[in-house]
Amino acid sequence: MFISDMANSGSRPVLEQMLRFAGERQRILAHNIANMSTPEFQAADVSVRGFQDQLAAAVDARRAQTGGAHGDLVLKDTSEVRQVGDSLEITPQTSNGEVQFQDRNNRDYVRLMQDLAENNLVFRTAADLLRWHQGMIRAAITQRP
């Protein structure tokens, strides 16, 4: 019980969900980059704001249920993000507002590179915070300062 409480306490579950989301989104963005010059390819993405709202609602529900210090973080399913066990299932949507080229491709190099950089920053920040959290637990277990 003690190990389970430590694994589901504080910000750790939130950071883990952020890592999962950023990892899945990276796969989608890489697919968009790989197909940038493919005729009739429609780039897809998932709403970052939608996931943030979904994550905030899960944190609020955990706080209401357990006071927020511990407990599982359960995301409510949306049309784009679904929690399946310990992983996330993401269904990206194609955007309709982007300019289409003569080959009917909706590529936008600048926007795609911006999305990639932002996603990388989210992933690295969540990974660094999770690493710090695990270091604190390790230091407490080994009784080192």
Closest by CA position to 90, among listed 62, 119, 113, 63: 119
Find the DSSP H helices in 1-145. 2-7, 12-34, 48-66, 109-142
Write down the pLDDT at residue 36. 83
pLDDT tens digits, one per residue of 26-46: 999 999 989 888 887 888 899
**Amino acid identity, position 38:** T
Contact in structure between 2 and 62 (CB atoms under 8 Å): no
**Amino acid identity, position 17:** Q
With left for phi above 0 and alpha for psi between -120 and 50, is residue 111 left, alpha or beta?
alpha
- Domain range list for the chain: 2-140
Percentage, residues of the chain above pLDDT 70: 81
Write down the pLDDT at residue 72. 78
Regarding pTM above 0.85, the answer is no
